[in-house]
Structure 1
């Protein structure tokens, strides 16, 4: 099922030092074979069929931790 994720909130939870661009995150998700797009109602969120745990791994791998 498609889920909605606020990338800023997830990045804060993970204590990431920076937030990757949404376009970059969407590209990485799609490269793994999932669907992804921006939401029309929240400019810092995406919708995807990727599970949250895998999304968190992508975020951690693409930014430095504090």
Structure 2
């Protein structure tokens, strides 16, 4: 719905992504860049726990097979 207004004509418009940039406002907060770095490090692929991921998938599949995830209409 908002995609139709992404030409910049809408007041306020959409925020644009700036890859490699920093979050707006972090320069005003001394711990901002540090926190941003910690969050980025936590989200990187190397920080994944493969065993935990396998346990989560197994739990999801068990719940799905038991019917716990059926849509309620």
TM range (shorter): under 0.3
Report which of the two structures shows the higher radius of gyration computed on alpha carbons: 2
Larger helix fraction of residues: 2
Larger strand fraction of residues: 1
Q: TM-score, normalized by length of structure 2?
A: 0.26
